[in-house]
Amino acid sequence: MKPETAELFDRYVVPNYGRYPVSLERGEGSTVWDDQGREYLDLFPGWGCNLLGHCPPEVVEAVQDQVAKLIHVPNSWHIEAQGQWAKLLSDRSFGGKAFFCNSGAEANEAAIKLVRLHTPEKRYKIITFTGGFHGRTLGATTATAQPKYHEGLGPLVAGFSYAPFGDLEAVKGLIDDETAGIMIEPIQGEGGVRLPPEGFLQGLRDLCDEHGLLLVFDEVQAGCGRTGEWFAYQNYSVTPDVMTLAKSLCGGVAGGAMLTTAEIAPSLRPGMHAATFGGNPIAARAGIATILAIEKHGLLERAKTLGERIRGRLAPLVDELPIVVEVRGLGLMIGLELTVEGSPIVSRCMEQGLLINCTQGNVIRLLPAMTLTDEEADRGCDLLADALRAQAS
């Protein structure tokens, strides 16, 4: 990294991120280059936001066209693209309506408000799950049942209670007359790429129906095609009342959305919630381009086969290396649970030109682009395997 870049960050940028000493300058597909001209294979592009890879042509073209016409107008006006975008999402999900915002945390804040607004006033409690992650705003942080994210922030937002992920009996025990909803990631991402036990999501649906609660699926990471279906819940045939989206929603451009049914949507009445830049012309055009590109190139099926290929290449490491506990995931959400800290392996991979991620301290997380080639997938698996072998030796 250039010394002047490091100096600028040291002097002027709030140090709330742990950053690697690398400055990235450009990207194409699953490859990025730093300011020294070094090339990296990126299997965690944009923290999962770049589902079509870096600078996908369809999104670039749509954004370039839009910024020359109209960059931003407030939501006190109509823009055709926002309506078209909402229809595309509705047609591919449960036929509801969309509220647009800028991020996953904002989408989850909207969902939390909607749950409280739609249910009787005395009901305000929301059940979430240990290991879940719902964002960095205070409401979303409170919903995130991980004590490390709560340290120093109290008092937190009232009304959240936490159940072990996968424990239906524990959820039953938390429901009372003040409970308004259940909020869950169908597949936990930051929590370690954890899939729900068989029947668990249906059990939550049944509990919500029995007690008049709203079921919220946080698909900020798992949604938009990453699992091989448009939305993760479609893998389990369990439909939520509310769903939140972000990350890959706009192919790398900032954008978030909350979807809910036509019956529930009016509860988020005018004046109760807003996002100044939400659903702006650029995000809308990028979101539309992303959906159409996924369908044009048959990338939902590609996510399935590519995910199977990567997990198949990595699975033998469980028997080969005692530090690898499990290879798991669905589609292009892939996790390798280790018995050791994963950060040295992430650093070793970066030294070899491979960008990956570690979450929860010991789970290597891969969120590769749908456009990753077979050759790139195999090369990434080989580099990761080499790093694991070196760590194990």
Sheet (strand 333-338) strand order: 324-330, 333-338, 363-366, 357-359
Q: Which of 273, 297, 321 is the last residue of a domain?
A: 297
In terms of domains, do 167 and 35 share one? no
Contact 225, 301 (CB under 8 A): no
- Strand ranges for 110-213 from DSSP E: 125-129, 160-163, 179-184
CB 194 within 8 A of CB 133: no
The string of pLDDT tens digits covering residues 320-368 is 999 999 999 999 999 999 999 999 999 999 999 999 999 999 999 999 9
The verdict on 200 and 52 lying in the same domain is no
**Whether 50 and 66 share a structural domain:** no
Decide: helix, strand or coil at residue 218.
Answer: strand
**Nearest to residue 345, comparing CAs of 64, 31, 106, 43?**
43
Instruction: Note whether 64 and 83 are same-domain residues.
Output: yes
Cα dihedral 219, 220, 222, 228 sign: positive
DSSP label at residue 246: -
The C-alpha atoms of residue 222 and residue 189 are separated, in whole angstroms, by 7
pLDDT of residue 99: 98
Q: Six-digit token pair at 323?
A: 């530090």
Q: Residue 187: which of 230, 221, 145, 237 has the closest Cα?
A: 221
Q: How confident is the model at residue 76 (pLDDT cuts 50, 70, 90)?
A: very high
Same domain for 19 and 86, yes or no, is: no
Q: How many CB atoms lie within 10 A of CB 71?
A: 10
Going by the annotation, the residues of the binding site for N(2)-acetyl-L-ornithine are 136
CATH of the domain at 385: 3.90.1150.10
pLDDT at 314: 98
Q: Cβ–Cβ contacts within 10 Å for residue 145, how many? A: 22
Annotated binding site: 104-105, 133, 136, 218-221, 276
Grade residue 369 by pLDDT with cuts at 50, 70 and 90.
Answer: very high
Same domain, 308 and 353: yes
- Which domain-ending residue is among 251, 275, 297? 297
Neighbours of 275 (CB within 10 A): 20
Same-domain pairing of 97 and 183: yes
Is residue 277 located within the same domain as residue 305? no
The model's confidence at residue 154, banded by pLDDT at 50, 70 and 90, is very high
Give the whole-angstrom CA distance, residue 81 versus residue 72.
12
Whether 288 and 304 map to the same domain: the answer is no
pLDDT at residue number 274:
94
Domain boundary among 297, 314, 345: 297
Q: What is the pLDDT of residues 31-46, one digit of tens each?
A: 999 999 999 999 999 9
Clarify whether residues 140 and 265 are in a common domain. Answer: yes
**Which pLDDT belongs to residue 322?**
97
Contact 242, 258 (CB under 8 A): yes
Q: How many domains does the chain have?
A: 2
Structure tokens at 338: 């280790």
Neighbour-count burial of 173, counting CB atoms closer than 10 A to its CB (0-12 exposed, 13-18 middle, 19+ buried) = exposed
Instruction: Please state whether beta strands 214-218 and 179-184 pair in parallel, antiparallel, or not at all (unpaired).
Output: parallel
Cβ within 8 Å of residue 299, ≥6 positions away: 52, 225, 293, 370, 371
70 — pLDDT class (breaks 50, 70, 90): very high
Annotated binding residues for pyridoxal 5'-phosphate, written as ranges, equal: 104-105, 133, 218-221, 276
Predicted pLDDT at 163: 98
Q: Residue 286 belongs to what domain range?
A: 57-297
> What whole-number distance in Å separates Cα of residue 229 and Cα of residue 174?
32
Residue 218 and residue 330 in one domain? no
pLDDT digits (tens, 9 = 90+) for 223-251: 999 999 999 999 999 999 999 999 999 99
Q: Per the confidence metrics, is the pTM higher than 0.95?
A: yes
Q: Is residue 113 located within the same domain as residue 157?
A: yes
What is the average pLDDT value for the chain, to the nearest integer? 97
d(CA 148, CA 46): 24
